[in-house]
Copies of this chain bind each other. A is one copy, B any other.
Amino acid sequence: MHHDISEYMHTVGRQAGEAARILSRTETRGKDLALLKTAAAIEDNKAHLLSENGKDMEAGEHRGLEPALLDRLELTDRRIQSMADGLRQVAALTDPVGEISDLTYRPSGIQVGRMRVPLGVVGIIYESRPNVTADAAALCLKSGNACILRGGSEAIHSNRAIAECIRRGLQQAGLPEHCVQVIETTDRAAVGELIRMEQYVDVIVPRGGKSLIERVSHEAQVPVIKHLDGICHVYIDDKADIDKALAVAFNAKTQRYGTCNTMETLLVAGPIAPSVLPQLADQYRRAGVELRGCPKTCELITDCRPATDDDWNMEYLAPILSIRIVDGLEAALDHLYKHSSAHTDAIVTEDYSRARRFLREVDSSSVMVNASTRFADGFEYGLGAEIGISTDKLHARGPVGLEGLTSLKYIVLGDGHIRE
């Protein structure tokens, strides 16, 4: 059985490589046509998508999946429409492939520049949400990459039905069907093969829970673009404008609780703490946020549970906030150096030099001044779409859009030039 999986995956990989070669030279309009035709196919097949999704939902309920998981798994009219809309949005984005930059003459007489090119074959491993099948396929297609999609076994019927719509879209645009391949088996060995097929796969993007991502990046031979923790901070400096501090700190925690760019720890400079914390605590309390504070925080506000050492390293993804009063910028930077997950951190200050220092010295994928951490998002940044948020340092940091699925090669133009 295991041997069959290996053979199957290698076939998938080889087919992806062949499709990638054609896709890399496909003009923009061909790729856009495939996206628009897929959107239409999804709309035309709403009933079929709903009934296939119904099978997954039934099996999921039967297996006793948690309600949150079932919610992510479910397709509705609105969610199906939003998949189709997403495909049209990606079609409307500028094609990054082939863009030439920095083309300059060198002393030798040659012109040297860089051309943006697809990575080749992208492997995406994800869980439950069937819409990822359409979203990820769209981003890969537009950026000229063939993709191999490995969704969760709980969504297999939904994913197959979506894949069928994509296949139709590719076909109608005259593109090879292997540009987008959905793994047809639910055997977990398929993932093991996928992340080791260096000869066929250029990058793996795992999307899902932390344990999935850790396992994938630990075992992969193929490079991985990954998202680990989002332990995001807001530091309220003593030179902060109090209204801005209240607005940013409240929004960063409460606008949504379960997202990776939600603030998990609030740092407040000692001198300003009495002017902001009691009022903020009041707002958080009314929003139902549990507060866990350092000893000084607990003295200043009521209903505050003492924070343990673990709290400074926790991604709650829940209405819980840890609060620490620090001496000032230096202590805040030290806290971030030790506890930030390098995702998104913000300072609230009116002080020019401190803002400048914070921007330079905080080593996170997004560093903000006087803005809510919730802005760390591909759409808010203008990428048009997002395949994920990278907490890696190499290649792509922060929200990853089309550009993150490409790289730059050098091009050299000469007129018979030789090296002396």
Instruction: Please tell me if the beta carbons of B108 and A375 are within 8 angstroms of each other in the complex.
Output: yes
- Give chain A's interface residues, CB within 8 Å of chain B: 21, 24-25, 98, 104, 106, 108, 110, 112, 115, 117, 119-120, 202-203, 218, 221, 223, 225, 241, 243-244, 247-248, 250-252, 255, 337, 346, 348, 357, 359-361, 363-372, 374-376, 380-382, 392-395, 397-399, 407-419
Which residues does chain B contribute within 8 Å of A411, judged by CB atoms?
359, 366-369
Which residues does chain B contribute within 8 Å of A251, judged by CB atoms?
418-419
Tell me the minimal C-beta distance from A229 to chain B in angstroms: 14
Tell me the minimal C-beta distance from A313 to chain B in angstroms: 14
List 21 A-B residue pairs with CB atoms under 8 Å apart, sorted by A's residue number: A112-B381, A115-B359, A243-B416, A251-B418, A255-B418, A348-B416, A364-B409, A365-B410, A366-B411, A367-B410, A367-B412, A368-B411, A369-B412, A369-B414, A371-B417, A372-B419, A375-B417, A375-B419, A381-B410, A395-B395, A398-B409
Query: How far apart sit A202 and B374, CA to CA, in the bound complex (Å)?
Result: 27
Instruction: Please tell me if the beta carbons of B397 and A408 are within 8 angstroms of each other in the complex.
Output: yes
Query: How far apart sit A416 and B241, CA to CA, in the bound complex (Å)?
Result: 9
Given contacts A106-B381, A255-B419, 6 further A-B contacts (CB under 8 A): A112-B381, A247-B418, A370-B414, A374-B418, A375-B414, A394-B395
Q: Most chain-B CB neighbours within 10 Å: which of A115, A244, A369, A418?
A: A418
Instruction: Please tell me if the beta carbons of B361 and A25 are within 8 angstroms of each other in the complex.
Output: yes
Query: How far apart sit A392 and B223, CA to CA, in the bound complex (Å)?
Result: 10
Residue of B nearest to A218 (CB): B221
Instruction: Please tell me if the beta carbons of A98 and B397 are within 8 angstroms of each other in the complex.
Output: no
Which residues does chain B contribute within 8 Å of A248, judged by CB atoms?
414, 416-418
Contacts A366-B412, A367-B409, A418-B248: A25 and B398 contacting too (C-beta < 8 A)? no
